[in-house]
Amino acid sequence: MTPPISTRYNNQKSAKLFRWFSIGFIIASTSFFLSSCSGGRPLETETITGGTPVKSRSNYTKYDADAFLHYILGQLYIREQNWEKAENAFSRVVDSDRKAIDARIFVSHLAVQQGKINQAIESTKEVITLDPSREKSRVLLAGLLTAQKKYSEAAEQYETILSKNPDNSGVRISLARTYGLLKEQNKAEAVLKPLFSDKKMAWKAYLTLGRVFASTPDLESAIKAFYKSHEWAPDKIQPVIALGIILQKVNRPEESAKVYRDFLADFPDNKAIHSRLGRLLLNQNDRAGALEEFRTISSLAPDNIQARLTTGLILLSEYKYSEALQELRLAEASEPDNSTVQYYIGQSLEFLNNLKQAENTYLKIMPGAPFFNESQLRLANIEAGSKRLGQAIARVEMLVKQHPKKAVYIKALSLLQLQAKDYTATVKSTSDGLKIDPDNGELRFNRAMAYDKLDQWQKAEKDLRIYIEQNPNDAHALNYLGYTWAEKNIYLEEAKSLLERAVALAPDDGFVADSLGWVLYRLKNYKESLNRMQNAVRLEPKDPTIHEHLGDVLHALGKTQEAMEMWEKALKLDPSNLKLKNKIKKNRK
């Protein structure tokens, strides 16, 4: 049975009292021990989480109760991972004893833990001033100086260590890296030279040299160094990855793939290299090869979500929607709440035209999760397609409200508003979007269409001219403006020029062919218009307007019977066209 709240509170209170009683007992006991001795004994090694082990070497010849209390508190706070209180406690020790090196070391590491780099540097410098022989403190200082891009000062610390301890291979590696940051590859190579014949360190030395050359960038020298590293340690993955990356960088993907495959021949279960090779093959558009690599990873590690997800995405790109769905369902079984997996399952279901399941899948993705916003757009698309435009618009309006400066959501909203024939709302949303992103062509084009529908042609025309200037190869826009001018019987020569460009860009588009034929008709160039219209009918045999236009051209050429036949076909395709019915009736007399 769960204890009453009062009981739990008393238990918690008792635990806290016991904790502080224990601390007091430790301090009292230690005080008694120290006071009975001529000096204190070294404290045990302490490790700050994420830092370097720190060992106390202080021997207090004169006991300072306040300093010792804070030393003990500092160590307790470290165990609780309360870095700020621990730092304050050890700082109090330093204030009491300026030569308390061990406390200063704690202050340095705790400052690093909290991101106080400048404070850590000053504290570490004080440690080195008190005891210049401390290699670990010099290494820490060098790392901190490197973080501040003070590479020359960092190099000095490493050089000082090597001058007294030339056998410190780790410092040689670090100093070479620092020389690389200073673009001093000759110094880097010189400091690494003693390691090139060391059986244990040669591969690391050559790997470091390769990275130095790569940062210069002397890529060919880097490749040679990486190959040397690989020769010394053919079982190590780091040289293989370094080689693979740099060979891709110098546009030698086949050689990169060979390096990966040779390694996998000896170590076929290495998932990291299978993944690297898979991504390389994807970049080379070798989807089949990439698919094989990621499927291998899945067989080696059935719970590897990333491998199954990538496999699913490759299958989606190859239009293998059922297979993609199967892979993604296996990923879902391992991580049912993975929103990325859910999103692509929804995509697969959409492609398979299983819209209800797709909708239910997208609805599982919670706000704040990856792909939540994208899933909302997909839901809006499904809703719009199932005659729930109001619901779709409300959904995207919420996205716009949450992300008012994201033009992508404003664009999606404007498209839905156009679909709903709410042209006034379209003008408002696109105008708001263009204030945020004045060069967004899609927003400008959508606004132009809305202005056109609102009979505000001058504003529509202005937007279309700007859009075409920014997007001169958009056949759809060229067609829109050119055809509208032809319909209005204005700017016909300019319209012809636009539509000739549109036809060159989209030669198989029947609507574009019709537009050019129509402007030629307006220019009374009936013979050329006839050729264009006949091609348009061939490309779009079920469009009533194109058939009607061809009938008009035939009528202008005096081919009344053929014109009547074409108008009749147009009327069958669009029986509600009263204007066309009257035209046919008039020409039968």
**Whole-number average pLDDT of the chain:** 87
φ, ψ of residue 352 to 5 degrees: the values are: -85, 5
Cα atoms in the Cβ-side hemisphere of radius 13 Å centred on 376: 22
The candidate with the shortest Cα–Cα distance to 512, out of 475, 465, 543, 542, is 475
Average pLDDT over residues 344-364: 96
Residue 361: pLDDT band (50, 70, 90) is: very high
Q: What is d(CA 452, CA 284) in angstroms, rounded to the nearest whole number?
A: 45
Cα atoms in the Cβ-side hemisphere of radius 13 Å centred on 505: 18
Read off the pTM: 0.66
- For residue 446, the surrounding DSSP H or E stretch is helix 441-453
pLDDT digits (tens, 9 = 90+) for 292-324: 999 998 888 888 889 999 999 999 998 999 999
Predicted confidence (pLDDT) at residue 554 exceeds the cutoff of 50:
yes
Average pLDDT over residues 100-112: 86
pLDDT at 74: 85
Cβ neighbours of residue 528 under 8 Å, at least 6 residues apart?
520
The candidate with the shortest Cα–Cα distance to 434, out of 421, 420, 448, 424, is 448
Query: Between residues 13 and 531, which one has the greater pLDDT?
Result: 531
pLDDT at 401: 95
The candidate with the shortest Cα–Cα distance to 407, out of 368, 437, 452, 370, is 437
Residue 108: pLDDT band (50, 70, 90) is: confident
Cβ neighbours of residue 373 under 8 Å, at least 6 residues apart?
399, 403, 409
Q: Which of 84-88, 419-423, 463-467 has the lowest mean pLDDT?
A: 84-88
Count CB-CB contacts under 10 A for residue 207. Answer: 23
Count CB-CB contacts under 10 A for residue 465. Answer: 13
- For residue 47, the surrounding DSSP H or E stretch is strand 46-47
Predicted confidence (pLDDT) at residue 19 exceeds the cutoff of 90:
no
pLDDT at 57: 42
- Would the CATH topology of 371-471 be identical to that of 491-589? yes
Greatest Cα pair distance in the chain: 131
Q: What is d(CA 64, CA 30) in angstroms, rounded to the nearest whole number?
A: 12
Query: Between residues 382 and 15, which one has the greater pLDDT?
Result: 382
pLDDT at 65: 76
Cβ neighbours of residue 307 under 8 Å, at least 6 residues apart?
271, 275, 294, 295, 297, 298, 301
User: DSSP string spanning 301-366?
Assistant: -TT-HHHHHHHHHHHHHTT-HHHHHHHHHHHHHH-TT-HHHHHHHHHHHHHTT-HHHHHHHHTTSP
**Is 371-471 in CATH node 1.25.40.10?**
yes
Contacts 24+ apart (CB under 8 A), 495-503: 495/519, 496/520, 496/523, 498/468, 501/472, 501/475, 502/475, 502/476, 502/478
Percent of the chain with pLDDT over 90: 74
Predicted confidence (pLDDT) at residue 521 exceeds the cutoff of 90:
yes
Percent of the chain with pLDDT over 70: 89
pLDDT at 61: 38
Kindly tell me the number of DSSP H helices and DSSP E strands found in the chain: 32, 2
Q: What is d(CA 413, CA 404) in angstroms, rounded to the nearest whole number?
A: 12
Predicted confidence (pLDDT) at residue 374 exceeds the cutoff of 90:
yes
pLDDT at 59: 45
Query: CB–CB of 566/551 below 8 Å?
Result: yes
φ, ψ of residue 289 to 5 degrees: the values are: -65, -45
pLDDT at 66: 79
pLDDT at 20: 36
pLDDT at 22: 39
Predicted confidence (pLDDT) at residue 180 exceeds the cutoff of 50:
yes
Average pLDDT over residues 480-495: 96
Residue 589: pLDDT band (50, 70, 90) is: low
Q: What is d(CA 496, CA 169) in angstroms, rounded to the nearest whole number?
A: 76
- For residue 46, the surrounding DSSP H or E stretch is strand 46-47
Homologous superfamily assigned to 491-589: Tetratricopeptide repeat domain (1.25.40.10)
Homologous superfamily assigned to 33-148: Tetratricopeptide repeat domain (1.25.40.10)
Predicted confidence (pLDDT) at residue 12 exceeds the cutoff of 50:
no
pLDDT at 96: 81
Average pLDDT over residues 366-372: 95
Q: Which of 24-38, 68-82, 567-581 has the lowest mean pLDDT?
A: 24-38
Q: 248-286 burial, b for 16+ CB within 10 Å, e for fewer? A: beeeebeebbebbeebbeeeeebbebbbbbbbbbbeeeb
- Assign 589 to helix, strand or coil: coil
Architecture of domain 303-365: Alpha Horseshoe (1.25)
Residue ranges per domain, the chain? Answer: 33-148, 303-365, 371-471, 491-589
Average pLDDT over residues 69-89: 88
Residue 480: pLDDT band (50, 70, 90) is: very high
pLDDT at 89: 87
Residue 235: pLDDT band (50, 70, 90) is: very high
